[in-house]
Amino acid sequence: MKPHPTVAKSSPTLHGRNRGAFQRKLLAGCTTISMIFPSTILQRGFAQEAKNTKPSVQDAAVRQRADALLQQMTPEEKAGQLSQLFLFTKPDATMESRIAKGQVGSLLFVTDPSVINHLQHVAVEQSRLHIPLIFGFDVIHGLQTIFPVPIAMAASWDPDTIERAQAAAAKEARAVGIDWAFAPMVDIARDPRWGRIVEGAGADPYLGSAVAAAQVRGFQGAYIGAPDHIVACAKHFAGYGAAEGGRDYDSVDLSDAQLRNVYLPPFKSAVDAGVGTIMSAYMDLNGVPATGNRWLLHDVLRDEWKFGGFVVSDADAVNNLQTHGFAADKADAAMRAFTAGVNMEMALNKDAYDNLPAAYKAGKINSEQLDAAVRPILETKIRLGLFENPYVDEARAAQVLGATEQKQESLRAAERSAVLLRNEHALLPLQGSGNRNIAVIGPLADSKRDITGPWVFVNKEQESVSVLEGLKQIAPQGTQFTYSQGVQISRKFPSMFDAIFGGDKTPVWTEAEQKQEFDKAVQTARSADVVVMVLGERQNMDGEAASRSSLELPGRQQELLEAVAATGKPVVLVMMSARPLELRWASKNIPAILDVWYPGTEGGIAIANLLYGKAVPAGKLPYDWPRDVGQVPIFYSHDVTHQPEKQGTRYWNEESTPLFPFGYGLSYTNFQFSNLHINHDQIHRGEGLDVAVDVRNSGTVTADEVAQLYLHQQSGTSSRPVRELKGFHRVTVAPGETQTVHFNLDTADLTYWSAATRSWVQDDTRFDLWVGDDSNASLHSGFTVAP
């Protein structure tokens, strides 16, 4: 796929790292390095603008510096660089001793800049070679300022917005001393029962690839070591999103064609964008655990894709090779992961890689292998400038966290991510004097924690804006609000994150209290002009270890929705979740449905702006929305197969089509697509072509539309999907205006992996082409590829 335009990068001065006395001490202590590299090069830290240093020259200098360190390191020190440990509490003497001995290369879950500085002092001043630590953290969708969850960002269909959001998140992370994010998660997910769908970009490899590249650019900037940026980590390599039954951690069985055409492209896009690290997955892939899969981690990642960064395991995944029945013991697990291509072990408390020095002394691995594993880790630390500037400016960290510009970016992203699923009789936006008495109902309506979503560990909850609070701030003067929670919802089996960080302490209602609150909600609706219901899933119902067997609204939410609708009052349903929930009844009986995902710190303001028309919804679904869980997996890009005319009636009891198709999303205005033009009716293999289409806004408000281009290959070496997304552009169109949108198709868009040849092929054949506002686009043309 082709890269999307990137945001122009500024060139600010590197902040937050103290040079001075430490640098002089480092140079004095590392005689070999200082002799090889002049102090001017050391001072740059290899974190300079690309325009000032040719990449080949810079890469060679980084490699030489890493090799100079490797020559001085013992096998034990090298193994230490391959070790990453969790630190949930304050460091103890044992941890500090390990760091001082060079037995730890990285720590994660440390976010206090004072603690980071303390531990970095131990590493650079007490260890023999003064090698700094690299601090990692799950900066999934923000650090303190929380942005919409990644699946929501994908729904924006706007790489620029995604890049800006992750750049803002990176700025906060780097300010506190975090150098490395365990994101983006680029797993394709076609089964919404899988809880980690929240972290990805949905079901489509083309959209997923665009989102992956945008996130890498946002986190890393123009180069690894760019000011106010951090190293990204594409995860989980690979196929994790295809777990059987949507059950987290379960096995995955994928054909080569599925892997190459669907599940690997977002990873390849991340690598092409320059991602610095890759995380291996937990599960079995076709019978071989991904963390011990040399074909995946070496043959594909390094030999084919030429990935030059380093691979880190998922948490305790190396030790888990024993659980898989793949490794005999911890030492065997270390050898299998190491020889497969895992550079760094992320360990909870059992370090399999502690066995590597013994394996080296026994001749099971050689110095060349050990150096090859350590080298990219050292190179990353060099590129980040950690050797020269290991410490964080604690005063600046306090200034950066939660700054106004970060919140503005969060608000913008939330507004651009919401998807309007239904709007009968133009109920939205809420306008006029008839909407002055509003009932706000639902278990998520006034929740400051749930609005930010899962994977939030540093958030200052009091800074988040709930839906009720946002409506009160944005509503016209004189608007009256009444609120009722209505029902409580919770998991049957608690979240592991609740056990670690503490869950909701709200007492469970008694049966009498449940009835009282339910009745109160219905009565509140009866007394209102319009009802805003905020339903969905609590934040701990999505994410890791948050798969579920159904897609029903949890608890008694469906019953509450039907009871409120029975009052006859107009209802706006605000859906807060990461997965598509059961909306068959709502899609026929509730006039307005707005899917807001988990919109982040400023979510309440964004939702209020959308409901009142201060912002116009333009998000599009990044997956097909099923009618029923029995349809799962369901995706638009299925093969034509036998009897395609009966594709929508594969089940005898209901339609086999989705409730809402991939790419779907309404607006407060109307758009028309016309004048589809392809510059060539026939091209030769290796050539590209240009496609143009007019997009007209025939409504009365300025709004965004996402023009989407789909292809179908009519015949060839293998049968091909009925449609595949191959281009999209989000454009802003004023009332009465027509914009011409251009797409460029190249060889990559017309090439696929064939199981017949076990290779990439481009066939000489005829292609159908559609452009429109979702995967059911009807504006059609075609072209031919000739030899």
Q: Tell me the catalytic residues.
A: 314
Dist CA 369 CA 335 (whole Å): 11
Concatenating the DSSP letter of every residue in 435-453 gives GSEEEEESTTTT-TTGGG-
Dist CA 588 CA 369 (whole Å): 62
Dist CA 142 CA 149 (whole Å): 9
Quickly tell me which residue has 């509140």 as its tokens: 524
Cβ neighbours, 10 Å, residue 43: 13
Cβ neighbours, 10 Å, residue 627: 22
The helix/strand count (H/E) of the chain reads as: 25, 26
Show Cβ contacts of residue 6 under 8 Å, excluding neighbours closer than 6 positions: 163, 217
Q: Residues, the chain, total?
A: 787
CA–centroid distance for 249 within its chain: 18
List, edge to edge, every strand of the sheet that includes 682-684.
Answer: 682-684, 779-786, 766-772, 703-713, 724-733
DSSP class of residue 326?
S
Q: 3-state DSSP: the chain helix, strand, coil percent, rounded to 5?
A: 40, 20, 45
Closest listed residue to residue 50, CA positions, set 224, 189, 209, 197: 224
Helix (H) or strand (E) holding 696: strand 689-697
> Phi then psi for 650, rounded to 5 degrees?
-65, -30
**Beta pairing, strands 703-713 & 724-733:** antiparallel
**Encoded tokens for 225:** 């070591």
* Alpha helix stretches (DSSP H) within 127-204: 150-155, 159-176
Contacts 24+ apart (CB under 8 A), 650-658: 654/627, 654/628, 655/627, 656/631, 657/627, 658/624, 658/625, 658/626, 658/627, 658/631, 658/634
DSSP class of residue 772?
E
**Encoded tokens for 457:** 């560990």
Dist CA 306 CA 309 (whole Å): 9
Cβ neighbours, 10 Å, residue 757: 10
List, edge to edge, every strand of the sheet that includes 233-237.
Answer: 233-237, 277-280, 310-312
DSSP class of residue 299?
I
**Beta pairing, strands 689-697 & 738-745:** antiparallel
